[in-house]
Amino acid sequence: SQQGEEDPQALSIQEGENATMNCSYKTSINNLQWYRQNSGRGLVHLILIRSNEREKHSGRLRVTLDTSKKSSSLLITASRAADTASYFCATVANDYKLSFGAGTTVTVRA
């Protein structure tokens, strides 16, 4: 299966701290994407990193990709209460469909 698997399953941090979550996958990918989902809501695309890229930034988000280890990490810096959500990595292989992991639930305490 292509599916990414996130680690940890849940993360609780204080506002202002950084949150790091990891994603591992099994086979070659075209790109890897991170999504956020607030409770009971839709999926919001955060960032896409291509297989030939190693690091990407978007605002307070930093994503790394290590294709040799088949892993990616998402770092949220200076977290805010509004960052409380579930975060999913999803891989795209040559079949062009997104395969999601189980997600990391992040709780940011005020």
* Binding site residues, another protein, CB under 8 A: 3, 30-31, 33, 35, 40-45, 47-48, 50, 88, 90, 92, 95-103
Q: Which residue in 19, 8, 89, 84 sits closest to 47, CA to CA?
A: 89
Residue 69 CB, nearest distance to another protein (Å)?
A: 22
Residue 50 CB, nearest distance to another protein (Å)?
A: 7
For another protein, the closer of residues 12 and 30 by Cβ is 30
Q: Which residue in 38, 72, 76 sits closest to 57, CA to CA?
A: 76
Cα gap 38→41, rounded to integer Å: 5
For another protein, the closer of residues 90 and 108 by Cβ is 90
Cα gap 37→88, rounded to integer Å: 8
